[in-house]
Chain A
Amino acid sequence: DTGVSQNPRHKITKRGQNVTFRCDPISEHNRLYWYRQTLGQGPEFLTYFQNEAQLEKSRLLSDRFSAERPKGSFSTLEIQRTEQGDSAMYLCASSLERATNEKLFFGSGTQLSVL
């Protein structure tokens, strides 16, 4: 059994470039989440998929950010025209839909540095 996998682990880019991150959830999990974490803060919700449908997006998510989950399996998060303020750890999590104590399982994240 493999956990949530995220690639790449680190990404350094220049301001204005586009970047794309990938998340492979636990295989039977139908829900997938993207979070962003900056230094000294807790993870901040970005967006959520149930199967292939994107059901929630944070109002903090600018139009430069887009996420997809084709076929309800892996997901990609793309940031266009990166800015220095986008520098953060991007965490992906997955879960299996349950009525109550649904746990999120997180990957190790992608650390983005925008120069």
Chain B
Amino acid sequence: AQKITQTQPGMFVQEKEAVTLDCTYDTSDPSYGLFWYKQPSSGEMIFLIYQGSYDQQNATEGRYSLNFQKARKSANLVISASQLGDSAMYFCAMRETETGFQKLVFGTGTRLLVSP
């Protein structure tokens, strides 16, 4: 069974500082993909970054990077130089690819508040 755990209900960060949002996962499949999505108050889920289980390097997309520690089954999102517009809910998600199941399983999310 898949499981995504996000233990931080809320996080606060000052503008221009970096913040790390935690995500741990549980799967028995050797092939899987990890995703982070942002959900602002408008409701739309916005894709941020992807990490494949066989990727050798940590994924980066602009100010977003993923700290992937496979042995610990963790995939933490790092946001550098936080901006006020980063205030939103952030969801970690996983998809198992080897079994053929196509669904993404999401965690419960972390609410990030960026203060001036």
Contacts and interface: CB of A to CB of B under 8 A. Distances in A.
B52 A104 contact: no
A42 B50 contact: no
A104 B35 CA distance: 10
B100 to A, nearest CB: 9
Contacts, number: 62
A69 B35 CA distance: 26
A67 interface: no
Interface residues of B, number: 25
B114 interface: no
B104 A104 contact: yes
B102 A108 contact: no
10 contacts: A33-B104, A41-B108, A44-B106, A45-B104, A45-B105, A48-B103, A91-B45, A103-B47, A106-B37, A106-B46
Closest 3 CB pairs of A and B: A42-B106, A106-B45, A45-B103
Interface of B: 4, 33, 35, 37, 42-47, 50, 52, 91, 93, 95, 97, 101-109
